[in-house]
C-alpha cells in the first residue's frame, strides 16, 4: 500500500527525529504527545536541526519550509490513528506501549499499519495485543535519526509480506538503509552494543580503569568514534538498563546481568546527558568524569 500520512507517538528524543526525516521525505506527519509543551519543544528542535542541515548545504530553504509545514501537532490519538502508518516512539516500557496501542484501537483505519520504534521489546508480544498482528512491525531507528543511516525492520511471527514490503519501501524513500532482524530480545544492534556498554560499566565498577581511561582506550584502541561510557550517557542510562533487563529476562543468561553500578546511577537519577549527569557531569562548560 502507499503511505502518505504518518503518525508519530512520542515527541521525545526519537520521536522528534523520526518526524524530522519523514517530513523532509515528503510525508504528512502528525506528531503526538500527551504533553503539548513537549511537542512545542520538539518542533523547536526540529527547526534548529533543519537549520543546521541548511547551513551545511544538505537541504534548501524551500526543503526546510515545506517540511516544517508538513508537521502537525496533536494530543488526540484519534487523529493519529487515522494515518496510513503509526510509529510508536514512547519510552522503552512495555506496559506504556500496550496502553498506547489499546488507546489507538477504537480509532484505527482498517488499512493502518502499526509499528513500534522499540529497541528491544518483543514485536510478537506487542502485536498480539492488537487487532492487526499481521500489519504490525518493529521499525527501529537509530539515534540521532536525521544522521544515522540504518533502520532495523523486525517482523513479528504474524507479520505479513505486504506489510514488510511496504515498510521496506518507506525506508528506501527516506534515503536510509534497512537491516532485517529476527524478533529476539534487542534485535541486532542493541544485542551487540548494549552488552559492550554493560561490560564497560563493569570495567569501571571493578576498578580496571577510570571513566576517562576506558573511553580513551576504546576510542584510540578500537577506533570507536565515541567511548562506551560517553555513548551510554548519550543513549540514556535508563534506556541502557531497560534493554539489559530485556536481554537478561528474555535470554536467561547471566552474561546479560546489568552491572550494579549502572543500576545505582539510574537510581540516583544520573541518566546521562539529558539529566545533566551520568558517567560525566555536563553541568559545566566541559564534561567532567563523575568517577
Active site residues: 119, 140, 152, 190
Write out the three cell numbers for 206.
571493578
Q: Is 14 annotated as a binding residue?
A: yes
CB 50 within 8 A of CB 70: no
Q: Is 169 annotated as a binding residue?
A: no
Size of the chain, expressed as the number of residues it contains? 291
DSSP string, 204-259: HHTTSS-HHHHHHHHHHHS--SS-HHHHHHHH-HHHHHHHHHHHHHHH--GGGPPP
Measured between alpha carbons, how far is 233 from 267 in angstroms, rounded to an integer?
15
Measured between alpha carbons, how far is 9 from 87 in angstroms, rounded to an integer?
6
Q: Is 48 annotated as a binding residue?
A: no
Determine the straight-line distance between the first and last CA of the chain, rounded to whole angstroms: 52
Q: Is 12 annotated as a binding residue?
A: yes
Pairing assessment for the beta strands 288-289 and 280-281 based on DSSP bridges: antiparallel
Residues 6+ apart with CB under 8 A from 253: none
> Cell 541548511 sits at which residue?
54
Pairing assessment for the beta strands 150-155 and 136-141 based on DSSP bridges: antiparallel
Closest CA to 72 of 106, 125, 29, 33: 29
Q: Is 216 annotated as a binding residue?
A: no
Q: Is 15 annotated as a binding residue?
A: yes
Q: Is 119 annotated as a binding residue?
A: yes
Q: Is 33 annotated as a binding residue?
A: yes
Q: Is 143 annotated as a binding residue?
A: yes
Measured between alpha carbons, how far is 159 from 137 in angstroms, rounded to an integer?
7
In a 3-state reduction of DSSP, which class is residue 28? Answer: strand
Q: Is 13 annotated as a binding residue?
A: yes
CB neighbour class for 116 (10 Å; exposed up to 12, middle 13-18, buried from 19): buried
Q: At what angle are helices 189-205 and 260-268 packed, to 10 degrees?
A: 90
Write out the three cell numbers for 103.
488507546
Q: Is 272 annotated as a binding residue?
A: no
Binding-site annotation, residues for NAD(+) = 10-15, 33, 92, 97, 119, 143, 274
Binding-site annotation, residues = 10-15, 33, 92, 97, 119, 143, 274
Amino acid at each position: 500500500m502507499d503511505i502518505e500520512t504518518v503518525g508519530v507517538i512520542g515527541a521525545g528524543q526519537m520521536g522528534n527525529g523520526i518526524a524530522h526525516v519523514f517530513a523532509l521525505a515528503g510525508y504528512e506527519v502528525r506528531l503526538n504527545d500527551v504533553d503539548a509543551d513537549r511537542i512545542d519543544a520538539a518542533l523547536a528542535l526540529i527547526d534548529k536541526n533543519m537549520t543546521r542541515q541548511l547551513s551545511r548545504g544538505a537541504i534548501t530553504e524551500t526543503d526546510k519550509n515545506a517540511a516544517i509545514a508538513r508537521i502537525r501537532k496533536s494530543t488526540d490519538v484519534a487523529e493519529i490513528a487515522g494515518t496510513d502508518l503509526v510509529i510508536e516512539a514512547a519510552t522503552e516500557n512495555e506496559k506504556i506501549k500496550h496502553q498506547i496501542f489499546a488507546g489507538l484501537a477504537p480509532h484505527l483505519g482498517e488499512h493502518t499499519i502499526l509499528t513500534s520504534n522499540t529497541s528491544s521489546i518483543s514485536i510478537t508480544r506487542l502485536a498480539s495485543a492488537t487487532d492487526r498482528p499481521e500489519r504490525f512491525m518493529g521499525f527501529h531507528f537509530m539515534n540521532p535519526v536525521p544522521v544515522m543511516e540504518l533502520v532495523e525492520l523486525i517482523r513479528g511471527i504474524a507479520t505479513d509480506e505486504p506489510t514488510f514490503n511496504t515498510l521496506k519501501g518507506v525506508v528506501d524513500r527516506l534515503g536510509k538503509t534497512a537491516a532485517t532482524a529476527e524478533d529476539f530480545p534487542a534485535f541486532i544492534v542493541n544485542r551487540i552494543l548494549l552488552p559492550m556498554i554493560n561490560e564497560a560499566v563493569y570495567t569501571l565498577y571493578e576498578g580496571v580503569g577510570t571513566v576517562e581511561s576506558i573511553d580513551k582506550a576504546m576510542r584510540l584502541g578500537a577506533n570507536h568514534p565515541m567511548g562506551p561510557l560517553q555513548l551510554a550517557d548519550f543513549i540514556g542510562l535508563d534506556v541502557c538498563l531497560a534493554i539489559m533487563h530485556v536481554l537478561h529476562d528474555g535470554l536467561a543468561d547471566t552474561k546479560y546481568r546489568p552491572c550494579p553500578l549502572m543500576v545505582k546511577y539510574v537510581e540516583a537519577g544520573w541518566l546521562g546527558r539529558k539529566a545533566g549527569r551520568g558517567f560525566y557531569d555536563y553541568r559545566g562548560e566541559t564534561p567532567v568524569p563523575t568517577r
